[in-house]
Amino acid sequence: MLPSKEEIELKIEHVRYKMYQAYKKDQNYEDILILSEKLDDLLNQLDKMNHS
């Protein structure tokens, strides 16, 4: 079953928070890149839902 729009929005907020924490802690660039890719994927999912 596909996630709902609300679930995707919650995941987006969670990933954004994790990215903020990673920047604050000067975490490894690769960690931030992984989070960025995850955020991109979630935003694309949300965009597809909004256009279907």
Whole-model pTM?
0.80
Whether 2 has a pLDDT exceeding 80, the answer reads no
3-state secondary structure string, 1-52? CCCCHHHHHHHHHHHHHHHHHHHHCCCCHHHHHHHHHHHHHHHHHHHHHHCC
d(CA 19, CA 7): 18
Give the tens place of pLDDT for each residue, 11-46.
999 999 999 998 888 878 888 899 999 999 999 999
